[in-house]
């Protein structure tokens, strides 16, 4: 999760909440993309998870952050005296921690997939240089492959303590989501309200396809878990009031206001005042807006309260001042680069976007939900409207490739952004997904031992 916002400007009406989102509108020439990815740190000598303060003779998460601060010169983000992240200069990205120590790069807004790939390569080189002296490596999978939840460390961040207390009240898998999953997402712009609605609908309908293509979480506690994307399965019962396929997005008249109305009805987690996180879990943002929040009498909503509340909503596609694609497992560097290429090709080219909408517009809410529910286990074998996802994927990838071709954004070697789709094309042509490949190696080459994933798949 990115850094919590600090803006004490008061908000007095719903119109201001709507306007805050609408400020994100940009002309297409100014569209950018930002890639975020998470990865699990581990000690290479015994494959143990990495606690915040480390262990005797070995550094921990704090040392990684301090090392990255020294290397990059980024501003430290501190919570109750603990460094819990780094902020790049002038909005140029951030490094943050997920609840179980998952190390996250929130990339800067960049112009091309080439740029985000270069950013990723530099980040991985930097973090490897900082981590190696501590004997720490990273494994980028959608679910922690080995450790129990009890073995997983807890990061010292105020909002996570509040969330951890609340999650078991609203679902069965919230703590697993917090402590044992990793994702990759791409953030994309919209030109106006109509453009936002079209992109939101297309990306929601196709998010299960992305989940299937990027599935990379077949292991739990050292064994096969029976799913291609355990991360996606966990989200099916985490906190359904704030997650899922948000079917209202397909209602006639969908708008910024409709999303705001939904967000206002999602219970809050916290209100941050200064450095203090006040636990208001289950309370209504409407009460805060009206100055009637029982836990904080007299407090009125601010810009930071609204921005932070929106960051605690977890639908498959999230609207803030941009759209966040949230359906994919973390994976190998080539897959981390394939995700932004996939969505940029579809959503940043009008012909591709229109073609994708023509493909999905006839699907019902029930069909979309059934597909989303089937994908964690069935992957590309799942079906909708009589077609398998593997079959649909070929058509959608062709649309994305066409969009990237028409964008014609080339690197120094003259290659356009379509090169990043090659691993997805291979999967659709018959190769197995990363999850399936790992499961096959576990059964055969690894003889039922998940340990080799930490050496062969580490970054």
Task: Report the C-alpha gap between 187 and 263 in whole angstroms.
Answer: 19
Measured in whole angstroms, how far is the alpha carbon of residue 277 from the centre of its chain?
23
Backbone region of residue 384 per phi and psi (left: phi > 0; alpha: psi in -120 to 50; beta: other values): beta
Quote the DSSP letter at residue 378.
H
Tens of pLDDT along 115-144?
Answer: 999 999 999 999 999 999 999 999 999 999
Q: Euclidean distance between the first and final Cα of the chain, in Å?
A: 21
Tens of pLDDT along 211-232?
Answer: 999 999 999 999 999 999 999 9
Task: Report the C-alpha gap between 319 and 63 in whole angstroms.
Answer: 34
Task: Report the C-alpha gap between 301 and 8 in whole angstroms.
Answer: 9
Task: Report the C-alpha gap between 410 and 89 in whole angstroms.
Answer: 26
Joined tokens for residue 355: 């073609």
Q: How would DSSP label each residue in 301-367?
A: -BHHHHHHHHTT-EESEEESSSEEEEEEE---HHHHHHHHHHHHHHHSSHHHHHHHHHHHTT--HHH
Say what the pLDDT of residue 4 is.
58
pTM of the predicted model as reported, rounded to 2 decimal places: 0.97
3-state secondary structure of 399: helix
Q: What's the chain's length in residues?
A: 459
Rounded (to 5) percent helix, strand, coil in the chain: 45, 15, 35
Joined tokens for residue 458: 């580490």
Match 């112009």 to its residue by tokens. 111
Q: Does residue 3 carry a pLDDT above 70? A: no
Q: Does residue 360 carry a pLDDT above 60? A: yes
Task: Report the C-alpha gap between 239 and 167 in whole angstroms.
Answer: 7
Q: Which of 213, 223, 214, 211 is closest to 376 using CA atoms?
A: 211
Q: Does residue 2 carry a pLDDT above 50? A: no
Say what the pLDDT of residue 254 is.
98
Backbone region of residue 115 per phi and psi (left: phi > 0; alpha: psi in -120 to 50; beta: other values): alpha
Q: Does residue 1 carry a pLDDT above 50? A: no
**Other beta carbons within 10 Å of 23:** 8
| CA distances to 208, 372, 408 from 377, in Å | 11, 10, 37
Q: Which of 248, 246, 289 is closest to 268 using CA atoms?
A: 289
Task: Report the C-alpha gap between 5 and 210 in whole angstroms.
Answer: 29
Q: What is the mean pLDDT of residues 77-91?
A: 94
Task: Report the C-alpha gap between 62 and 134 in whole angstroms.
Answer: 11
Match 């990339």 to its residue by tokens. 107
Say what the pLDDT of residue 53 is.
98
Whether the CB-CB separation of 107 and 119 falls below 8 Å is answered with yes
**Other beta carbons within 10 Å of 143:** 27
Say what the pLDDT of residue 92 is.
83
Q: Does residue 152 carry a pLDDT above 90? A: yes
Burial string for 362-380 (b: 16+ CB within 10 Å, else e) reads ebeeeebebbbbbbbbbbb
- Within the chain, what is the greatest distance between any pair of CA atoms? 63
Q: Is the dihedral of CA 184, 190, 193, 195 positive or negative?
A: negative
**Other beta carbons within 10 Å of 194:** 11
Task: Report the C-alpha gap between 267 and 347 in whole angstroms.
Answer: 31
Tens of pLDDT along 380-401?
Answer: 999 999 999 999 999 999 999 9
- pLDDT class of 86 with cuts at 50, 70, 90: very high
Say what the pLDDT of residue 305 is.
97
Whether the CB-CB separation of 443 and 432 falls below 8 Å is answered with no
Average of per-residue pLDDT values in the chain: 96
Tens of pLDDT along 166-191?
Answer: 999 999 999 999 999 999 999 999 99
Match 């997904």 to its residue by tokens. 433
Q: How would DSSP label each residue in 20-45?
A: HHHTT---GGG--EEEEEEEEEEETT
Tens of pLDDT along 10-52?
Answer: 998 999 999 999 999 999 999 999 999 999 999 999 999 999 9
Tens of pLDDT along 417-453?
Answer: 999 999 999 999 988 999 999 999 999 999 999 999 9
Q: Does residue 5 carry a pLDDT above 70? A: no
Structural domains in the chain, CATH included, are 14-456 (3.30.590.20)
Task: Report the C-alpha gap between 243 and 312 in whole angstroms.
Answer: 10
Whether the CB-CB separation of 454 and 139 falls below 8 Å is answered with yes
């Amino acid at each position: 999760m990115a850094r919590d916002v600090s803006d004490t400007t008061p908000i007095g009406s719903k119109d201001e909440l709507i306007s805050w989102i609408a400020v994100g509108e940009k002309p297409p020439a100014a569209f950018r993309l930002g890639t975020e990815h998470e990865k699990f740190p581990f000690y290479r000598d015994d494959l143990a998870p990495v606690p915040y303060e480390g262990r005797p003779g070995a550094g921990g998460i704090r040392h990684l952050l301090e090392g990255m601060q020294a290397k990059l010169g980024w501003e430290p983000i501190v919570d109750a005296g603990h460094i819990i992240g780094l902020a790049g200069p002038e909005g140029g990205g951030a490094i943050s921690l997920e609840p179980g120590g998952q190390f996250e790069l929130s990339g800067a807004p960049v112009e091309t997939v080439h740029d985000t790939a270069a950013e990723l390569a530099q980040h991985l080189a930097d973090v490897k240089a900082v981590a190696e002296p501590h004997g720490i490596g990273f494994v980028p999978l959608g679910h922690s492959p080995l450790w129990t939840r009890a073995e997983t460390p807890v990061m010292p961040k105020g909002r996570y303590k509040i969330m951890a207390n609340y999650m078991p009240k609203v679902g069965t898998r919230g703590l697993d989501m917090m402590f044992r999953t990793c994702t990759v997402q791409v953030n994309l712009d919209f030109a106006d309200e109509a453009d936002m609605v079209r992109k939101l609908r297309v990306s929601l309908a196709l998010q299960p396809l992305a989940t299937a293509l990027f599935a990379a979480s077949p292991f739990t506690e050292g064994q096969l878990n029976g799913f291609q994307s355990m991360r996606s399965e966990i989200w099916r019962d985490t906190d359904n009031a704030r997650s899922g396929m948000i079917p209202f997005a397909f209602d006639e008249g969908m708008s910024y206001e409709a999303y705001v109305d939904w967000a206002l009805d999602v219970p809050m987690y916290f209100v941050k005042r200064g450095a203090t996180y006040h636990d208001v879990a289950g309370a209504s943002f409407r009460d805060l807006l009206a100055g009637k929040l029982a836990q904080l009498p007299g407090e009125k909503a601010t810009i930071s309260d609204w921005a932070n509340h929106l960051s605690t909503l977890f639908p498959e596609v999230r609207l803030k001042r941009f759209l966040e694609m949230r359906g994919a497992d973390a994976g190998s560097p080539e897959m981390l680069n394939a995700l932004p290429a996939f969505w940029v090709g579809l959503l940043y080219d009008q012909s591709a976007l229109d073609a994708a909408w023509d493909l999905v517009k006839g699907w019902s809410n029930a069909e979309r939900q059934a597909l989303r529910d089937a994908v964690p286990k069935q992957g590309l074998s799942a079906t909708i409207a009589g077609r398998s996802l593997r079959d649909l994927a070929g058509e959608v990838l062709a649309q994305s490739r066409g969009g990237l071709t028409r964008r014609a954004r080339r690197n120094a070697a003259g290659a356009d952004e379509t090169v990043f789709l090659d691993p997805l094309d291979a999967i659709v042509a018959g190769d197995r997904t990363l999850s399936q490949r790992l499961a096959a190696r576990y059964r055969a080459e690894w003889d039922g031992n998940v340990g080799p994933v930490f050496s062969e798949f580490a970054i």
